[in-house]
């Protein structure tokens, strides 16, 4: 029975993700914190996913495995490695074929991806030169507020007004935020300003590939309700919710690619 199971593994800078497909059904998922060694991250997350499928004795029983993410080249048991651009496109199209624009906000970078109606990548752009606008920036800000990421996301939804954050650099932005807090500016209003600043950066990036409805957000920051609200306001349209955890889209797309390769079907990559 094990020949039916195709898997994808996304080794990111902050988390490792795995998805196992049986034909077109997701039968296992896992997310773990990234280790220093990408191979170790891949091993841990794939074993965790395999344990959810009684017919699988382990990673070697998988019928196909595609790796993606920054650590994809360090997954020795993957049959092939594919860029996260292609995998996020495949994963999102698997969940919702109506989505034509993706913004992937990860720990270290932000990507804008446009799709054609068939789910193939039309264009993409990446910002990996500056931490501002990434998940790492939001983690830094939540620490400044002495809050978890979830608490930081929620407090921004209670803002009475949005306090603009003008600094373009993450280090200077943190200094600006500390100064605002010292002046007794309501934390909710500052948090909303931070979410708006990140949303603006994503919006500018998306304009380079063209913003075609519907728009979906992937990556760990997709769970930040405050950011999704701010981005929706900037886009002047709601962000399309996905039926599967958006943080898993890279791993899901890799699993879809593995499944297609098993079936002898072509996989377009970007």
pLDDT in tens, 223-248: 899 999 999 999 999 999 999 999 99
Same domain, 170 and 221: yes
Give me the pLDDT at residue 131, please: 65
Residues 26, 38: Cα–Cα separation, whole Å = 24
Beta-carbon contacts of 248 under 8 Å, excluding residues fewer than 6 positions away, are: 10, 17, 19, 29, 31, 91
**Amino acid 56: pLDDT:** 93
pLDDT in tens, 139-173: 888 888 888 888 888 999 999 999 988 877 777 88
Classify burial at 74, counting beta carbons within 10 Å of its beta carbon; exposed 0-12, middle 13-18, buried 19 or more: middle
Residues 227 and 248 in one domain: no
- Domain range enclosing 38: 1-96+243-269
- Percentage of the chain beyond pLDDT 90 is 70
134 and 179 share one domain: yes
pLDDT digits (tens, 9 = 90+) for 80-102: 999 999 999 999 999 999 999 99
* Tally of domains within the chain: 2
Please choose, from the candidates 80, 76, 70, 57, the residue with its C-alpha nearest in 3D space to the C-alpha of residue 17: 70
3-state secondary structure 64-125: EEEEECCCHHHCCCCCEECCHHHHHHHHHHHHCCCCCEEEEECCCCEEEEEECCCCCEEEEE
Whether 107 and 230 map to the same domain: the answer is yes
User: Are residues 51 and 134 located together in one domain of the fold?
Assistant: no
Mean pLDDT, rounded, of the chain: 91
Indicate if 77 and 132 belong to the same structural domain: no
Looking at per-residue pLDDT, the higher value among 220 and 82 belongs to 82
Mean pLDDT for 201-227 is 92
In this structure, the answer to whether residues 110 and 13 fall within a common structural domain is: no
Q: How far apart are CA 6 and CA 153, in angstroms?
A: 35
Name the pLDDT band for 109 (thresholds 50, 70, 90): confident
For residues 143 and 76, membership in a common domain is answered with no
- Confidence (pTM): 0.90
User: Can you give the pLDDT at residue 69?
Assistant: 93
Secondary structure class of 261 (helix, strand, coil): helix
> Which pLDDT score, from 0 to 100, does residue 132 have?
67
Asked if 78 and 62 touch (Cβ cutoff 8 Å), the reply is no
Task: Answer yes or no: do 226 and 115 share one domain.
Answer: yes
Is 83 found in the same domain as 122?
A: no
Is the model's pLDDT at 1 over the cut of 60?
A: no
| CATH number of the structural domain spanning residue 11 | 3.30.420.40
Confidence label for 2 from pLDDT (cuts 50, 70 and 90): very low
Would you call 166 helix, strand, or coil by DSSP? coil
- Same domain membership, residue 116 and residue 82: no
At 223, list the tokens. Answer: 């769970």
Task: Provide the edge-to-edge strand list for the sheet that holds 215-218.
Answer: 121-127, 110-115, 101-105, 215-218
Rounded CA-CA distance 257/260 in Å is 5
For residue 218, is pLDDT > 90?
yes
Lowest mean pLDDT, pick from 11-20, 56-65, 77-86, 161-170: 161-170
Give the pairing type, strands 121-127 and 15-22: unpaired
Q: Give the pLDDT of residue 92.
A: 98
How large is the average pLDDT for residues 257-270?
87
Q: Based on the domain organization, do 26 and 75 belong to the same domain?
A: yes
């Amino acid at each position: 029975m094990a020949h039916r199971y195709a898997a994808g593994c996304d080794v990111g800078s902050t988390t490792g993700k795995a998805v196992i497909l049986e034909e077109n059904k997701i039968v296992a998922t896992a997310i773990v914190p990234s280790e220093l060694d990408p191979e170790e991250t891949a091993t841990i997350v794939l074993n965790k996913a395999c344990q959810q499928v009684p017919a699988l004795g382990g990673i070697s029983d998988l019928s196909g495995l595609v790796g993606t993410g920054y650590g994809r080249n360090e997954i020795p048991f993957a049959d092939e490695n594919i860029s996260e651009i292609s995998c996020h496109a495949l994963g999102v199209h698997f969940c919702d074929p109506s989505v034509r624009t993706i913004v992937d906000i990860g720990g270290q970078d932000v990507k804008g991806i446009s799709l054609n109606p068939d789910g193939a990548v039309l264009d993409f752009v990446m910002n990996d030169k500056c931490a501002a606008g990434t998940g790492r920036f939001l983690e830094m800000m939540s620490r400044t507020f002495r809050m978890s990421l979830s608490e930081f996301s929620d407090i921004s939804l209670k803002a009475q007004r949005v306090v603009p954050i003008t600094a373009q650099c993450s280090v200077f932005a943190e200094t600006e935020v500390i100064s605002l807090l010292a002046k007794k500016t309501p934390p909710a209003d500052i948090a909303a300003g931070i979410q708006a600043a990140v949303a603006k950066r994503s919006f500018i990036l998306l304009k380079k590939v063209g913003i075609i409805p519907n728009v979906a957000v992937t990556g760990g920051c997709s769970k930040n309700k405050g950011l999704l609200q701010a981005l929706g306001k900037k886009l002047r349209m709601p962000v399309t919710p996905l039926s599967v955890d958006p943080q898993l889209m890279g791993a899901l797309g890799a699993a879809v690619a593995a499944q297609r390769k098993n079936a002898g079907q072509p996989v377009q990559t970007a």
